[in-house]
Amino acid sequence: MGTRRATISDVAREAGVSPSTASVVFSGKAPVSDATRERVLAAAESLGYTGPDPRAASLRTGRAGIVAVLFRERLGAAFRDPVNAATMDGLSDALAPIGAGILLLREDDTGTVEAAPSLTSVPIDAAVLLGCNEIIRSSVETARGRGIPVVVIEGDAGEDVPKVMLDNRDAQRTVAEHVRSLGHTDVSFVTLRTDDGGRRGFIGDDTEILIDVTRDRLRGARDVFPDAPAYAAADSSIDEGLAAGRVLLSGPRPTAILAQSDMLAAGVIRAAEEAGLRVPEDLSVTGFDGVVVDGLAPYVLTTMVQDATAKGHAAGEAVVAMLVDRAPASVTLTCTFRRGNTTAAR
């Protein structure tokens, strides 16, 4: 064969079958006998043929076979959060029937790598946005101008962009009402700024929160405790929760801390233990998400449980619908309150 790449026709000729039969062996779209399959695969191996050229398939179908997932944070930080991992599982399951792969992208405004792949430049069939901010919104119109369908998870990218939403404000309000029912009035929040260069610190109002989901959760907490201080962590992790807890417990001590994620809540509990405080006797702590946090036992967090896998699956279903010219559905999923052993009466 020299340096020329072997083709399916070469394999068919070597195996003594038609090109269509050889093609079926690799595509699996129709049954063939075991003997024929073995003969074709042996011929492919002898010729160094590893399968159809995906570029040719893309030209035939007019599709790249790729769905981009756009993150607002660094990918390393994003995948420390089990909610993102579960969401991606649901998304990939929903995309499996159309054979689409997933490309992970991070969109920011730093401009540090001019040629870095982005939502506006890579060959993709659709895009899923995990959260939404002004930077990401600015890319959406360009992507849609290319005819690329867009779906947003827990964010608003415009009225005609399908959304997969969570009842974040109502859910966080439920947690805050539970804490208030236990007699707590000295309450603090741990929230997320996320898009401000990783800065930590106290925030004033919710306009300092740049991501829809975290803004909604803060609003739900302040529906019940409007004057409670809020401390913004850099990301949703145990280490960030620990840092936030140390700050909140170093001054006038609250009797309850409401964290916007279970990972942050686990860090707050570590900060309480470090300060010699008992949870929940001295400090009540709540989370959000309902994920498994390693090393948290014997604590079971009081939290709101979301189905992150279903969230990703709903986004994938919306993508599939748009790619086959069906109307996609916007969905709002609800959380379930779970009372654990990290909250107690004041």
Domain ranges across the chain: 8-52, 66-166+308-334, 168-306
Given this structure, which CATH class describes domain 8-52? Answer: mainly alpha
CATH assignment of 66-166+308-334, among 3.40.50.12780, 3.30.420.40, 3.40.50.2300, 3.30.70.2740: 3.40.50.2300
Dist. CA 128–CA 106, nearest whole Å: 12
pLDDT in tens, 312-341: 999 999 999 999 889 998 899 999 999 999
Quote the pLDDT of residue 114.
Answer: 43
Please give the helix or strand (H or E) that residue 103 lies within, else none.
strand 101-106
Question: Is the distance from CB of 310 to CB of 281 less than 8 angstroms?
Answer: no
* All residues at 6 or more sequence positions from 303 whose CB lies less than 8 Å from its CB, including other chains: 175, 262, 265, 286, 287, 288, 289, 290, 338, 340
Q: Is 54 in a helix, a strand, or coil? A: helix
- Enumerate the β-bridge partners of residue 70: 105, 129
Q: What values do phi and psi take at 127, rounded to 5?
A: -135, 140
Quote the pLDDT of residue 305.
Answer: 98
- Encoded amino acid at 234, one letter: A
Dist. CA 127–CA 102, nearest whole Å: 9
CATH assignment of 168-306, among 3.20.20.70, 2.40.160.40, 3.40.50.2300, 3.40.50.300: 3.40.50.2300
Residue written as token pair 């069939």: 125
Angle at 172 between CA 256 and CA 269, to 5 degrees: 35
Written in H, E and C, the secondary structure of 239-265 is HHHHHHHHHHCCCCCCCEEEECCHHHH
Dist. CA 120–CA 123, nearest whole Å: 9
Quote the pLDDT of residue 115.
Answer: 46
Q: What is the DSSP string of 187-207?
A: EEEEEE--SSTT--EEE-SGG
* All residues at 6 or more sequence positions from 90 whose CB lies less than 8 Å from its CB, including other chains: 308, 309, 310, 311, 312, 313, 314, 315, 316
Quote the pLDDT of residue 88.
Answer: 93
Q: Matching CATH topology for 66-166+308-334 and 168-306?
A: yes
Show the tokens assigned to 204: 């004033």
- Enumerate the β-bridge partners of residue 66: 101
160 C-beta neighbours (distance < 10 Å), count: 7
Dist. CA 10–CA 198, nearest whole Å: 56
- Residues of the chain short of pLDDT 70, as ranges, are 1-4, 28-29, 52-63, 72-78, 107-121, 133-139, 194-198, 207-210
pLDDT in tens, 193-204: 765 556 788 988
Residue 342 is classified by DSSP as: S
